Structure 1
Amino acid sequence: MNMEELKNKNTQYLSSIGIDVPEDLPQIESLNEVEPRTAQDIAGRLSALAYVIGLGFGARGEDLLEQLNKYNLMPYVSGYERELLSQDIIGEQDKIDMSWLAECAQALAWCIGLVDLDHFKHCDDDLAQKIPFKSNPEEFIQESQLRPIAEIQEQSDLLYRLHWYVRNCGLTGQECELSEEVISERRRAIDWAYGVEKDWDAVPMDT
C-alpha cells in the first residue's frame, strides 16, 4: 500500500465512525524517509518509562534514578526526563506531563504486541503488570518482537489524522469523545517507534 492509499484508507475509516478529517491533509513519511526502532529499542524505552512515570505520582527522582541505573536503563531515558529526575522538586505541569507518559507506554506496549489500542479509552488498568518493574528487564527486552512495520506505519498515519481532529474540535468548540492528551501522547510514541525522529523530546507534534 502506498502512502496515498494509506491516507485514503484511514480517512475513509474515520469517516465511517463519524470523524471527518480533510482529504487534503498531507501524507505521513514513507518507510524510506524514516528509521524505525527495533523491538529492543521499544522494549527498553517501555521498561524505562515504568520508572519515569513515577515522577507524575510523587516518586522521588533520586529513588527512580537508582533503579534505572541498577537495570542499565538510562540509555532509554530522554534528556528532558533526565533533567527532571535529577531535580529535588519538579513543577506541577511537569508532574502532569510525566503522568501522561502512561499513554505513551500503552502505545509502545502495542508496538511489541502486549496490548490492544483503543483510542477512545485510556491506558489499560493492568498495563504496569506487563512491564518489568524492580526486576531485571534484560530478558523482556531481548525477547520482545515488533509488530509488522506496516501496522505501525498505519497507526502513525491514523494518529496524525486523529490529532488534527481533536485539535480542530478544541479550536471550533465541537464536542469530542477523544482526549487530546491520549491522542498526542500515543502519537508521540508511535512516531518515535516508526522512526520519524530519533530524539524522543523532539518528535514533531504539528498537525
Structure 2
Amino acid sequence: MEELKTRTTDYLASVGIEVPSHLPTIEEMDEVTPRSAQDVAGRLSALAYVIGLGFGAKGSDLSEQLQKYDLVPFVSEREKSLFSEEVIDDQDKVDMSWQTECAQALAWCIGLVELDHFQHCDDDLAQKIPFKTDPSDFIRSAKLRPIAEIQEQSDLLYRMHWYSRNCRLTGRDCDLSESIISERRKAIDWVYGVEEDWDEVPMDT
C-alpha cells in the first residue's frame, strides 16, 4: 500500500497537485469486502431513480418503478425516506442530483465509461443505465473491473479529496471540483468495500 501511495502521490505531483507524504495509506485488501459486479450494476440501476428525485420527479412514481423492477434492495435507507416524502427540500434535491457523479464512478467500475476527474459526468451517461425498463439482463451480465484498478482509484480519490478540501479551507484556487471528487470517492470506496452501508461511507480526509 505504501507503493500505491507513492505512485499516486507522484502522479498527482506530475499534474500539479501536491499532497503531503504524511497522509495515510488506504485500507488493505484484507480490511475490505469488495462488491460484486451485480451489486454495482444493481446500485447503478437504482441510482437512476434516486437522481430523478434531484430533478423534480415524483417520489411515489419512482418508488413504484423501483418495486416493479426489484431494485428496492439497492436503495439506501436515507433514499427510501426521501421517496416517501411529499415534498423534498432544496438541499436534498441538490444532494440527489450530485449523485450523477456517483453514477459515473459506478459505471466505470463495470466498464461502461472512463473516468476523468477534472470533468463532470458524461453527457450521455443516462443512456447507458436502464431506466423504467427491466434491468435484470444489465445486472446479470455486468463484469467488474480488476479490483486492483478499483483500489488505485480509491487511493487516487482519497488524495484528490484531501487536496480539493484543503484548497477550499485555505482559499486557494483549485482545478478539481470537491463535489465531483467526493461523490466519486464515495462510490468507489463503497465498491472497494470500505463500508457496506452507502449512507455511512466515511468521507474524512
Shared fold per TM-score greater than 0.5: yes
2:29 counterpart (12, 15, 31): 31
2:16 counterpart (9, 15, 18): 18
2:173 and 2:99 map into 1 onto residues whose CA distance is 25
Alignment of 1:24-173 (within 5 A): 24-173=22-171
Matching residue's letter, 1:55: L
1:18 and 1:189 map into 2 onto residues whose CA distance is 25
How many residue pairs align between the two structures?
Answer: 205
1:204 and 1:194 map into 2 onto residues whose CA distance is 13
Matching residue's letter, 1:128: A
Deviations 1:137-179 (A, max 9, x none): 0000000000000000000000000000000000111100111
1:149 and 1:108 map into 2 onto residues whose CA distance is 13
Alignment of 1:174-185 (within 5 A): 174-185=172-183
Cα root mean square deviation, aligned:
0.4
2:130 and 2:56 map into 1 onto residues whose CA distance is 20
Look up the SS of the partner of 1:124 in the other structure: coil
Deviations 1:59-93 (A, max 9, x none): 00000000000000000000000000000001100
Instruction: Give the deviation of 1:47 after TM superposition.
Output: 0.2
Identical aligned pairs, as a percentage? 72
TM-score, normalised to structure 1's length? 0.99
Look up the SS of the partner of 2:43 in the other structure: helix
1:26 and 1:10 map into 2 onto residues whose CA distance is 12
2:55 and 2:105 map into 1 onto residues whose CA distance is 20
1:107 and 1:23 map into 2 onto residues whose CA distance is 26
2:165 and 2:50 map into 1 onto residues whose CA distance is 27
Deviations 1:75-124 (A, max 9, x none): 00000000000000011000000000100000000000000000000000
Instruction: Give the deviation of 1:24 after TM superposition.
Output: 0.8
Structure 1 portions without partners, runs of 5+: none
TM-score, normalised to structure 2's length? 1.00
